Structure 1
Amino acid sequence: MPARLSAEVRQYLLITGNYWAFTLTDGALRMLVVLHFHQLGYTPLQVAMLFLFYEIFGVVTNLVGGWLGARIGLNRTMNIGLAMQVVALAMLLVPPAALTVAWVMAAQALSGIAKDLNKMSAKSSIKLLVPGDAQAALFRWVAALTGSKNALKGIGFFLGGALLAAIGFRGTVALMAGVLALVWAASLLLLRRDLGRSKAKPKFRDILSKSRAINLLSAARLFLFGARDVWFVVALPVFLYDVLGWDFWQVGGFLAAWVIGYGFIQSVTPRVVGRQAGATAVSRRAPGWAFALAVVPFAMAGLLSAASYPAGIVVTVGLGVFGILFAVNSALHSYLIVAYASEDGVSLDVGFYYMANAMGRLLGTVLSGWIYQTQGLPACLAWSGGFVLLAALLSLALPRHDRQSPAIFPTGDTP
């Protein structure tokens, strides 16, 4: 990296470290809540409802948080997110009798706000740390941040399941709150204070995107993440625990391995999809990858319904193939939003896009509990396939008229 970018690289590493630490706690907390409350006798739909406010407030946070980041700076929105996650974790340290559904939902609401402030800040910051003409570097940096984040989320899933078995719910939550408080203190001291603040103060009405490309991409993102969460969030861990008879360690470890592998594929997507960068080249590839992904959940649903193969093999192998294709689709979207976003006030566009992402998670989470409880895992997978098809059709309409598409990997320049 050239010497002139050394300060930017330092900031990138700090932002990535913040994002990593937050993601570990977010992944672990998700697994803790699903397994702990299912063990207490909550139905799949009731477990899904615990995340309802998490996802609803994520939608609102992404929409308003982008505007807030443009006005006060991304360093502040990132630090606010870290602090709020510490408070959300602390809320779960009350005596067990006080852990009512309403209280847990409130803590999850705070955690949802924190997560999306942190993610929006991290993704928006990359646009500002890479020169505007360096699309190759931008694609690699976005892929590396996104992929590493998901790998750490997978480790968080494993830690959540493992620590729940080893030191219990309260001990795990207390440990995470303490570590994240230290990360927050370091971020307050080291993160650049003018990062992402717009030169022209945006008005509140500017939070709604006016770009056709961003609107289409956001709609595709909504259905892509709805397709994942409609079976992954509640249905899958409960199916592994109840139907296949796996214990907490096995459930957490398997889902962790999946998310880690998914994150690795995201990080190497620039190598996977070809040697052309730029929004035009990537948007041309997006529909094909989405159509390929749609085949997987439909095939899994058919195999499980026919009972022609052992359910454990169908789920584990199918999830692996789904993870590879989903990772590529997600990485393509993550690059496109940063490429499409306006540089001045980038968080407005990124926040709008992640609002759609959060709406997809909300839809998928609620449907995951309801459809699994009433119809089973094959129905969740059929819904997943339908959502991916909608994402693919929307991707066909993405703009493809730019005249230049620089190489992702110029001679001698590899990630």
Structure 2
Amino acid sequence: MLTLSTLSPAVRQYLLVTGNYWAFTLTDGALRMLVVLHFHSLGYTPLQIAALFLFYEIFGVITNLVGGYLGARLGLNRTMNIGLGLQVAALLMLTVPAIWLTIPWVMGAQALSGIAKDLNKMSAKSSIKMLVPQSEQGQLYKWVAILTGSKNALKGVGFFLGGALLALFGFQGALLLMATLLALIWLASLMLLKKDLGKASAKPKFRDILSKSQAINSLSAARLFLFGARDVWFVVALPVYLSSVFGWDFWMVGGFLAAWVIGYGIVQSVAPALTSKISGKARGQLPDGRSAFVWALLLAVLPAAIALGLKTDWSAQWLLIGGLLLFGAVFAVNSSLHSYLIVSYAKADGVSLDVGFYYMSNAMGRLIGTLLSGWVYQAYGLEACLWISSAFVLLAALISMGLPKHAQPSPAG
């Protein structure tokens, strides 16, 4: 507590925002795993399970677009608290008697959760821009990487938590426990988060939500295909495949997906050091459009290689697990590069407008990937999902060629 008291008010506020973001992320990952595994056990098809997340992703698109505007007008702490409250409501909606858990009802709860998730993400990612001077871009890269990586590691813990809670307490018991704990955090947040961090100096107009920067538009398009490439196999196809083809139970499926996302988060956190070493520059080199292109091109090879390998006599289980772990590591670097670039490109005044627009594209990619994950897997199998993943990453690489490039390496902050 003494250490916290020595920090500046802005940093203390940011730490509180980050703590809320972490707590929310645990429930978000756990809820995703609970819904996939519970409704798969009830006999829902992969396409029906994907449909349950349709509103989650659609409202994520809308929330990121409008949420950036709200953050600039109201302050990022208010949007954070709104997100926490909505997540509590979404969890409680799913604790109703089983007979009420119709597809429209579950989709409605997922819509609230999607709004909540993206209000939280936009608030946390935008806040960091306000704390790092424009001249210290290397430090900005490190802070963004740590925030993003730690969040994804916790989301992986949430996947495992979801599988474990489902096995221990059942669907409704798990949801009620999570709702209670998150409600306590929400109440504490309402009392502690008081500073209007990120509020624009001039009230933005609603038309300002659409970005006019070519760099942000190009990066947003690349982000759409990058995350579509992940979710086309990750959201529905992979957990259903592990359960139905490999015969894994809830603990094993949740544990593997948790390990994948935790490892992904760890790699994101160390991405600045990793890209610096690979660049061969003693002082490090900050990412630019060339970096985004090269790393995306490397990533595009992996799902295609896994799909080809599944047609051989090699062990499908070890090939898939090993291949997806490697995909996760390279994907993490790509994601971390993008997360740094958007914060770097965004305007400091009303930063949430640019960040919100970018994460709108991120949500659109997840929406497309989620729908394809259920439909393509049900119709054509996991290999087809992997081929689509490879094609999407290749498109992201080609779009990244249009991003700004450094004339010469910039010193790390």
Normalised TM-score (structure 2): 0.96
Task: Show the 5 A alignment for 1:230-269.
Answer: 230-269=232-271
What is the aligned partner in structure 2 of residue 412 from structure 1? Answer: none
**Cα deviation, residue 157, structure 1:** 0.2
Cα pair 1:19 1:118 within 8 Å, conserved: yes
**Cα deviation, residue 400, structure 1:** 1.3
What is the aligned partner in structure 1 of residue 293 from structure 2? Answer: 287
1:74 aligns with 2:80: no
Equivalent position amino acid for 1:206 in 2? D
Pick from 328, 335, 355 the counterpart of residue 330 of structure 1: 335
What is the aligned partner in structure 1 of residue 284 from structure 2? Answer: 276
Aligned partners of 1:130 and 1:168: how far apart in 2?
Answer: 44
**Cα deviation, residue 12, structure 1:** 2.5
Pick from 350, 364, 371 the counterpart of residue 369 of structure 2: 364
Equivalent position amino acid for 1:60 in 2? I
What is the aligned partner in structure 1 of residue 209 from structure 2? Answer: 207
Cα pair 1:70 1:346 within 8 Å, conserved: yes
Superposed CA RMSD: 1.6
**Cα deviation, residue 315, structure 1:** 1.0
Pick from 344, 347, 357 the counterpart of residue 352 of structure 1: 357
What is the aligned partner in structure 1 of residue 156 from structure 2? Answer: 154
Aligned partners of 1:74 and 1:5: how far apart in 2?
Answer: 20
1:43 aligns with 2:48: no
Aligned partners of 1:99 and 1:91: how far apart in 2?
Answer: 9
**Cα deviation, residue 248, structure 1:** 0.3
Q: Secondary structure at the match of 1:246?
A: coil
Q: Secondary structure at the match of 1:195?
A: coil
What is the aligned partner in structure 2 of residue 413 from structure 1? Answer: none
- In structure 2, runs of 5+ residues without a counterpart are 277-282
Using a 3 Å threshold, how does the CA distance of structure 1 residues 167 and 4 change in structure 2: closer, same or farther?
closer
Pick from 396, 400, 403 the counterpart of residue 401 of structure 2: 396
1:135 aligns with 2:137: yes
Equivalent position amino acid for 1:135 in 2? Q
Task: Show the 5 A alignment for 1:57-206.
Answer: 57-206=59-208
Using a 3 Å threshold, how does the CA distance of structure 1 residues 86 and 379 change in structure 2: closer, same or farther?
same
**Cα deviation, residue 307, structure 1:** 3.3
- Deviation per residue, 1:133-168 (Å, 9 max, x gap): 221221111101100000000000000001101110
What is the aligned partner in structure 1 of residue 303 from structure 2? Answer: 297
What is the aligned partner in structure 2 of residue 386 from structure 1? Answer: 391
**Cα deviation, residue 209, structure 1:** 0.2
Equivalent position amino acid for 1:321 in 2? L
Equivalent position amino acid for 2:116 in 1? A
Aligned partners of 1:272 and 1:15: how far apart in 2?
Answer: 27
Cα pair 1:139 1:277 within 8 Å, conserved: no
1:374 aligns with 2:382: no
What is the aligned partner in structure 2 of residue 411 from structure 1? Answer: none
Aligned partners of 2:67 and 2:364: how far apart in 1?
Answer: 15
Cα pair 1:61 1:355 within 8 Å, conserved: yes
Cα pair 1:147 1:265 within 8 Å, conserved: yes
Aligned partners of 1:382 and 1:308: how far apart in 2?
Answer: 19
Aligned-residue identity in percent? 71
Pick from 313, 322, 337 the counterpart of residue 318 of structure 2: 313
Structure 1 window deviating more from structure 2 (189-198 vs 71-80): it is 189-198
Aligned partners of 2:406 and 2:338: how far apart in 1?
Answer: 18
- Deviation per residue, 1:358-403 (Å, 9 max, x gap): 0000000000000000000000000000000000011111011566
Aligned partners of 1:202 and 1:298: how far apart in 2?
Answer: 44
**Cα deviation, residue 273, structure 1:** 0.5
- In structure 1, runs of 5+ residues without a counterpart are 409-415
Aligned residues: 405
Q: Secondary structure at the match of 1:307?
A: coil
**Cα deviation, residue 283, structure 1:** 2.7
Equivalent position amino acid for 2:284 in 1? Q
Cα pair 1:337 1:350 within 8 Å, conserved: yes
- Deviation per residue, 1:70-122 (Å, 9 max, x gap): 00110100100000000000100110000000000000001000000000000
Equivalent position amino acid for 1:359 in 2? M
- Deviation per residue, 1:292-339 (Å, 9 max, x gap): 1011000001111x2321110111000110000000000000000000
**Cα deviation, residue 276, structure 1:** 3.5
Aligned partners of 1:357 and 1:247: how far apart in 2?
Answer: 31
